[in-house]
Amino acid sequence: MSSTTQFNYADHFAKGLPPPSASATVDNPTYNFILGHTCPDLVPVEGLVEASARALRKDGPGLAINLHNGGLLGYLPLREFLVLKLGRHRGIDVTVDDILITSGSQPAAMLLNAALLEPGDTVIAENFSYVGMLGDMRMRKVNIVGVPVDEHGMRMDALASALDDLAGRGVTPKYIYTIPTVQNPTGSVMPMERRRRMLEISKERGVPILEDDCYADLVFEGEWEKAIRSLDDSGHVLHMGSFSKNLAPGVRLGYVVAPWEVLSQLLPLKGDIGTSTFGQMVVADFFHNHYEEHLETLRSGLRKKRDTLSAAISEHFGPSVEPNHPRGGIYLWVKFPDGVDTRKPLAAARKEGIGYNPGSDWAVYPADDRRNGNNYIRFCYALPTEDEIWKGIELLAQVFQRELGFPS
């Protein structure tokens, strides 16, 4: 007779695991300004349907074979597209053998961290940075040193000072992590002069750069600055990108550009017998045929939503709130007056169906109120409609007034 007593796994879990998930469901608020969503209306559904049909007719039987048409590094036509894209739009001269396809940029980052980081290591990052990367570093018990940012991204004087301070203590960081183009969460775009200086500093100190370029396709104003990797032919810069932002998060595809010395260490850690070939086939076909026209449509739609959110914040919160004006991307980084702690109304806002991320969610030092941006909010404007943006911000202003007395 089988027992109805459930087996207790508590003593069988490995040590040092992150906290367990509270639920398997996702509670999406009505007015959703959180996470890195894109706009449903800007997903090229019909184009993807046509690309799926073409790809399957052309190469569908190959799905029967593991690692078909490209081997461990990923589907060859997708890597061929990336060679063209990176050369034309990011100034990066690589071959298909320098690119590894992954199941999103987050797995790409985790692969690199698994290969490079050990407990007690030190990493340099922007003082506000991608929470997924910061969380992975913390789980690996890595010391993260935050470098101040301004409207042009990471400050090079502060970077040099931080590296000098660490060197004085006998510490050499494993890498400098940066999001130079449409930085998350601040939206800054690092000028070329500063990119060159970062590369100079990193070479002088013997510290490589991990360049996260997943938002670079979303620059919709001004010229495109070339990637830091375009300035380097020595393998000093490791480069990451994603199809989650220029196509859709549900695609779950990213990539790493690195020398074979690094890729050969990532492959044994990947552990998935290759990223989904079907997804790679569809994206390769779609972008080989529609990359330019799709990106033009996507950027135009995102620009309208950025302007709508900025106008709604100005109208409902008044002139004492300072939205930035990013040249691209999907986020607005909004500064509230000193003394306005954006964490406090969060629960009340969720009861009204509004989701947002306080600035401290992105902070290297989240517990330090002097450096954690507790008077900032990062709004993702890509998912809600323009009507939802206006209504959500109006309701949020009412929540802030009720909970904090601001705006008056």
- State residue 77's pLDDT score: 97
Residue in this structure with the two tokens 């260490």, named with its chain if needed: 265
- Read off the tokens for 363: 């902070």
Please say if the pLDDT value at position 28 is more than 90: no
- State residue 239's pLDDT score: 98
Q: Read off the DSSP letter of residue 155.
A: -
Q: Is the pTM of this model over 0.85?
A: yes
In this predicted model, what pLDDT tens digit does every residue of 121-170 receive, in sequence order? 999 999 999 999 999 999 999 999 999 999 999 999 999 999 999 999 99
Question: What gap in Å lies between CA 394 and CA 120, rounded to an integer?
Answer: 46
Question: What gap in Å lies between CA 223 and CA 214, rounded to an integer?
Answer: 17
Question: What gap in Å lies between CA 321 and CA 311, rounded to an integer?
Answer: 12
Nearest in space to 190 (alpha carbons), one of 172, 173, 211, 168 = 211
List the chain domain ranges: 31-44+293-404, 64-290
Please say if the pLDDT value at position 234 is more than 60: yes
Mean pLDDT across 305-324: 96
Let me know: does 70 contact 206? Beta carbons within 8 Å.
no
Residue in this structure with the two tokens 């494993």, named with its chain if needed: 174
In this predicted model, what pLDDT tens digit does every residue of 166-203 receive, in sequence order? 999 999 999 999 999 999 999 999 999 999 999 999 99
- State residue 2's pLDDT score: 57
In this predicted model, what pLDDT tens digit does every residue of 204-225 receive, in sequence order? 999 999 999 999 999 998 888 9
Equal CATH topology for 31-44+293-404 and 64-290: no
- State residue 383's pLDDT score: 95
Q: Read off the DSSP letter of residue 230.
A: G
Tell me the CB-side half-sphere exposure of residue 133, using CA atoms within 13 A: 30
In this predicted model, what pLDDT tens digit does every residue of 237-289 receive, in sequence order? 999 999 999 999 999 999 999 999 999 999 999 988 889 999 999 999 999 99
Let me know: does 172 contact 206? Beta carbons within 8 Å.
yes
Residue in this structure with the two tokens 């006998």, named with its chain if needed: 170
Geometric angle at alpha carbon 383, from 379 and 387, rounded to 5°: 90
Question: What gap in Å lies between CA 106 and CA 253, rounded to an integer?
Answer: 9
Fold that domain 64-290 belongs to in CATH: Aspartate Aminotransferase; domain 2 (3.40.640)
137-150 b/e (C-beta count within 10 Å ≥ 16 → b): beebebebbbbebe
Q: Please tell me which residue, 15 or 51, carries the higher pLDDT value.
A: 51
Q: Please tell me which residue, 408 or 367, carries the higher pLDDT value.
A: 367
Question: What gap in Å lies between CA 341 and CA 229, rounded to an integer?
Answer: 38
Cis-peptide into 185, omega within 30 deg = yes
Say how far residue 170 (Cα) sits from the centre of its chain: 31
In this predicted model, what pLDDT tens digit does every residue of 62-112 receive, in sequence order? 989 988 999 999 999 999 999 999 999 999 999 999 999 999 899 999 999
pLDDT band at 10 (very low <50, low <70, confident <90, very high): confident
- State residue 27's pLDDT score: 79
- State residue 1's pLDDT score: 53
- Read off the tokens for 259: 């020398």
User: Any idea which of 14-23, 164-173, 291-300 has the lowest mean pLDDT?
Assistant: 14-23
Residues 6+ apart with CB under 8 A from 356: 33, 34, 342, 346, 349, 377, 378, 379, 396
Please name the CATH architecture into which domain 31-44+293-404 falls: Alpha-Beta Complex (3.90)
Nearest in space to 306 (alpha carbons), one of 383, 245, 211 = 383
